[in-house]
Amino acid sequence: MPSFRSAASQAAHGQPRHGNAGDGKIHSLGTERNYEQALKGAAEFIQARKLGDLRGLTRETAIAYLEARSQEVGQKTLDLDRQAMQAVLGGGKLPTVKSELDQELASRRHRLATQIAANAGLRAHELLTLRPAADRFAGRGDVAVYTVKGKGGLCREVAIDRALADRLETVRLPEPRTVYDRGIRHQQHYDIGGGKQWTDSFSKAAQRELGWSEGAHGLRHSYAQTRMDTLQGSGRIYEDALAIVSQEMGHFRADITEVYLR
């Protein structure tokens, strides 16, 4: 006859006790408390499905619970749940289930980063250095102005369309955080993708959706070409438009920008 004690009681009684190191049991009071808390959810899952209690936990039920939890919690919590149930199972290894919540959050961060990079013509690492600027940016309509730090430490202003800037401000960090990209230290002010992690994510997404990828740097090519069309369409001669786009992209010479127009 299945047992239907409370979830808390099941969690407390379903854990292995302290024992010798290496025996698959719990050897720390702190770990025991963490596991008991983690196992409450598993006990509720088992109880709701009338599968008995934690003492009768099976590998299949544990995996089903982890897969259900993966949509609700981050990877750290999910890994703790897995470790707690492994202890109940006597140390048997359970597969690592990836948090869909973490993956979705990462996808949102990279998606916003991609839109901003295309809109402002940013390099991958410049996404990590975005900061608000006080001055206005001429010629782009309703935009918000930010600063980025480019190659050689060059700081420049960039314009981001107002709708994108509003979304960016919703992920401003309470305090700047230090991040490293390709060994370079940056101070990040917004919780968006950037650097190598973002470029890798971009390439994988392009391969998945299109079957090919020219890399995230292609967004700077698109920016240069679109911006040149806009400036020339508003009456700027080629040389003036090229000089403007060159400055906006952080190039020291206009002829470098011409490479992006081919």
DSSP 12: H
Transcribe 20-41 into DSSP letters: -TTSSS---HHHHHHHHHHHHH
Q: State the Cα–Cα distance between residues 183 and 179, nearest whole angstrom.
A: 9
Does pLDDT of 225 surpass 60? yes
Q: What is the pLDDT of residues 152-192, one digit of tens each?
A: 888 999 999 999 999 999 999 999 999 999 999 999 999 99
Neighbouring C-alpha atoms within 13 Å toward the C-beta of 159: 17
What confidence category does residue 140 fall into, taking pLDDT thresholds of 50, 70 and 90? low
For the ranges 30-39, 87-96, 224-233, which has the lowest average pLDDT? 30-39
SS (H, E, C) the chain: CCCCCCHHHHHHHHCCCCCCCCCCCCCCHHHHHHHHHHHHHHHHHHHHCCCCCHHHCCHHHHHHHHHHHCCCCCHHHHHHHHHHHHHHCCCCCCCCCCCHHHHHHHHHHHHHHHHHHHHHCCCCHHHHHCEECCCCCCCCCCEEEEEEECHHHCEEEEEEEHHHHHHHHCCEEEEEEEEEECCEEEEEEECCCCHHHHHHHHHHHHHHHHCCCCCCCHHHHHHHHHHHHHHHHCCCCHHHHHHHHHHHHCCCCHHHHHHCCC
Across the range 221-248, mean pLDDT stands at: 93
Per-residue confidence (pLDDT) for residue 245, from 0 to 100: 93
Domain regions of the chain by residue span: 7-88, 107-212, 217-262
What confidence category does residue 28 fall into, taking pLDDT thresholds of 50, 70 and 90? low
Across the range 241-248, mean pLDDT stands at: 93
Q: State the Cα–Cα distance between residues 170 and 172, nearest whole angstrom.
A: 6
Q: State the Cα–Cα distance between residues 16 and 39, nearest whole angstrom.
A: 12
CATH class of 107-212: alpha beta
Phi, psi angles (nearest 5°) of residue 225: -70, -45
